[in-house]
């Protein structure tokens, strides 16, 4: 990383933050607290964004300096900069100067070394170990936390995959990190590692299974404390059941299960409601507890998500003990195991479970396919689109599986809600726009973002199997479409399928790097504005 460029970028970002701060004020009194309180909502958001850009630029400088400090602190005692200042190593010095944690200082040095130019044995300058991460930090697009996650993953996987695949993985992670954030990068890495190191899926699964645990104890206040860790196979069933009950409670509290809910494509992914609709029972079964009471403000849901999770787990335990009347949502839930048809036949590859980021082995997928409550979804077999047209209003379970396979959960940009918290909705409204009930007119949205689409007037388009969200003019005068979320499996498969296709078409004798530029798939262009909204 060139320090002059980094310093210049930080100076520009800091100046922009100061200007944005001043522009957000409207004759405010002096003092930081008074100034912040006087900012408009839009001005405060712009200020926070400008400060974040300045912080990322500052972190790039800090990482570069941390790496240099570490390099100057690993020589002899008389040439050790950290020891000269009374510290055993560079990390301790950094932690003391910043007032932060030692582990954060270690990670800052790690990122700095991976993104700084290196010197050869003959003192020639070499590019950074992770050049794309370095460039993204230099541009102010990547925070040090995200860069650290990416660098550590690439170092861990480097010896288990080809250099070209490693470069593609770095490009993909750098591209997605500003969109999905650090948590999203962690989720993407789990899927990406399974593609880069398919032989390691089974050992990783065995390791996770060996670490499973559950402890239940009563504390001194009388609360029963439950602490557990589950492998993906067991965790998928637990998570799906709890998510189903919590999702049903949230929809009940908001009255969103009413059959006259405008623009809705039905409830969450549940076969019971679909069976009821097929019998002419609307979009809920006869024993669904949601009714007119949900419209009464006195009965609105006031529990937190954590409380809903606890109540759901207790309901599952009560059902297991009595097994008399299972909650409706629990009877409807299905764990979906997604596996490539060719991989299922050959035994080489991996599968995924809805709501769980950790891939599982083909052996586990085969076992799950024979279990009750498990729906195997074969991918890559050229299945035809599932369209119902105007004959039915509610999306079928099969159609919702196709939408989840495309969107990965809520399709709103940056939303991490899993499939259990998302519902299938018509893009062109079924009643108002005579929209069709087919996968081309469907989108997965969580309840919160579905309400935002309607409240703010966002428009949604699907083109080339990708969703786009166009903001209203009052939020973005330019109305630039934003790409919606896509399933991690789709993103990874397309990126690496393109690379493999290019590799197969490259004539023998072509230099290894000659086709690398053409193997990267160009991003889809946004669709033109349209008048149809979700």
DSSP secondary structure, 293-347, as one string: GGGSGGG-----HHHHHHHHHHHHHHHHHH-SS--HHHHH--EEEEEEHHHHHHS
CB 479 within 8 Å of CB 529: yes
d(CA 271, CA 372): 14
> Hey, is 17 helix, strand or coil?
helix
For residue 425, the surrounding DSSP H or E stretch is strand 422-426
CB 494 within 8 Å of CB 403: no
d(CA 422, CA 437): 17
What pLDDT, on a 0 to 100 scale, did the predictor assign at position 280?
33
Residue 440's φ and ψ, nearest 5 degrees, are -70, -20
Taking 3-state DSSP, the helix, strand and coil percentages for the chain, each rounded to the nearest 5, stand at 55, 10, 35
d(CA 58, CA 446): 36
pLDDT tens per residue, the chain (534 residues)? Answer: 455 577 787 888 888 888 888 877 755 555 556 678 888 888 889 999 999 999 999 999 999 999 999 999 987 656 789 998 899 999 999 999 989 999 999 999 999 999 998 877 777 888 999 999 999 999 999 999 999 999 999 999 999 999 999 999 999 999 999 999 999 999 999 999 999 998 889 999 999 999 999 999 888 888 899 999 999 989 998 998 898 888 887 876 665 443 333 333 443 444 333 233 333 333 333 343 333 334 445 456 678 899 989 988 888 887 766 554 556 665 556 677 788 877 877 778 888 887 777 888 887 777 666 555 566 666 664 433 445 555 566 788 888 888 998 998 889 988 877 887 788 888 987 766 778 888 889 999 987 788 788 778 899 999 888 899 999 988 888 898 998 988 887 888 878 876 666 655 555 555 554 444 444 444 555 665 444 444
> Hey, is 348 helix, strand or coil?
coil
What pLDDT, on a 0 to 100 scale, did the predictor assign at position 181?
92
Give me the residue spans of the domains in the chain: 3-196, 394-534
> Which of 373, 357, 442 lies closest to 406 in space, CA to CA?
442
What pLDDT, on a 0 to 100 scale, did the predictor assign at position 497?
73
Q: Scanning the structure block, which residue is given the tokens 């080809």?
A: 162
What pLDDT, on a 0 to 100 scale, did the predictor assign at position 69?
93
CB 515 within 8 Å of CB 244: no
What pLDDT, on a 0 to 100 scale, did the predictor assign at position 78?
61
What pLDDT, on a 0 to 100 scale, did the predictor assign at position 446?
83
What pLDDT, on a 0 to 100 scale, did the predictor assign at position 74?
83
Q: How far from 239 is each of 244, 286, 526, CA to CA, in Å?
A: 8, 26, 35
Q: How many residues make up the chain in this entry? A: 534
CB 166 within 8 Å of CB 180: no
Confidence (pTM): 0.71
Beta-sheet pairing, 466-470 with 374-379: unpaired
What pLDDT, on a 0 to 100 scale, did the predictor assign at position 247?
85
d(CA 214, CA 226): 7
What pLDDT, on a 0 to 100 scale, did the predictor assign at position 530?
45
> Which of 170, 94, 160 lies closest to 127 in space, CA to CA?
170
d(CA 376, CA 367): 10
d(CA 82, CA 91): 9
d(CA 71, CA 82): 10
> Hey, is 432 helix, strand or coil?
coil
């Amino acid at each position: 990383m060139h320090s002059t460029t980094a310093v210049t970028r930080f100076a520009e970002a800091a100046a922009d933050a100061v200007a944005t701060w001043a522009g957000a004020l409207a004759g405010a009194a002096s003092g930081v607290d008074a100034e912040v309180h006087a900012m408009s909502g839009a001005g405060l958001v712009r200020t926070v964004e400008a400060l974040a850009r300045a912080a990322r630029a500052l972190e790039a400088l800090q990482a570069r300096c941390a790496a240099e400090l570490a390099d100057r602190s690993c020589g002899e005692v008389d040439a050790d900069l950290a020891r000269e200042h009374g510290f055993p190593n560079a990390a301790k010095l950094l932690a003391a100067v910043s007032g932060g944690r030692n582990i954060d200082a270690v990670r800052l040095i790690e990122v700095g070394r991976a993104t700084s130019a290196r010197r050869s044995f003959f003192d020639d300058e070499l590019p950074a170990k992770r050049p794309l991460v370095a460039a993204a930090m230099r541009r102010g697009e990547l925070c040090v936390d995200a860069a650290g996650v990416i660098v550590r993953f690439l170092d861990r996987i480097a010896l288990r995959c080809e250099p070209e695949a490693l470069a593609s993985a770095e490009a993909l992670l750098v591209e997605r990190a500003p969109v999905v954030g650090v948590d999203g990068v962690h989720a993407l890495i789990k899927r990406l590692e399974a593609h880069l190191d398919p032989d390691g899926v089974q050992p990783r699964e065995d390791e996770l299974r060996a670490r499973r645990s559950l402890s239940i104890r009563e504390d001194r206040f009388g609360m029963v404390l439950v602490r557990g860790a589950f492998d993906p196979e067991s965790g998928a069933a637990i998570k799906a059941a709890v998510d189903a009950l919590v999702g049903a409670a949230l929809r009940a509290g908001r009255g969103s299960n009413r059959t006259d809910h405008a623009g809705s494509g039905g409830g969450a992914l549940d076969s019971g409601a679909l069976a009821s609709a097929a019998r002419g029972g609307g979009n809920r079964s006869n024993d669904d507890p949601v009714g007119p009471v949900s419209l009464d403000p006195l009965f609105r849901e006031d529990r937190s998500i954590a409380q809903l999770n606890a109540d759901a787990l207790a309901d599952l335990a009560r059902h297991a003990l009595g097994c008399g009347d299972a909650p409706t949502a629990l009877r409807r839930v299905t764990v979906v195991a997604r596996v490539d048809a060719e991989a299922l036949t050959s035994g080489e590859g991996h599968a995924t479970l809805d709501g769980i980021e950790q891939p599982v082995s083909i052996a586990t997928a085969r076992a799950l396919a024979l279990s009750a409550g498990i729906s195997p979804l074969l991918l890559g077999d050229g299945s035809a689109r599932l369209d119902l047209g105007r004959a039915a209003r509610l999306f079928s379970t099969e159609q919702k599986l196709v939408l989840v396979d495309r969107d990965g959960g809520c399709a709103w940009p940056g939303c991490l809600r899993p499939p259990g918290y998302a519902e299938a909705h018509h893009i062109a409204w079924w009643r108002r726009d005579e929209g069709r009930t087919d996968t081309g007119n469907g989108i997965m949205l969580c309840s919160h973002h579905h309400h935002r689409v309607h409240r703010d007037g966002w428009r949604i388009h699907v083109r080339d199997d990708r969703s786009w969200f166009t903001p209203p003019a009052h939020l973005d005068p330019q109305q630039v479409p934003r790409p919606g979320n896509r399933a991690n499996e789709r993103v990874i498969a397309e990126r690496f399928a393109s690379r493999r296709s290019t590799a197969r078409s490259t004539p023998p004798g072509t230099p290894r790097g000659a086709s690398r530029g053409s193997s990267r798939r160009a991003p889809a262009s946004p669709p033109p504005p349209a008048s149809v909204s979700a």
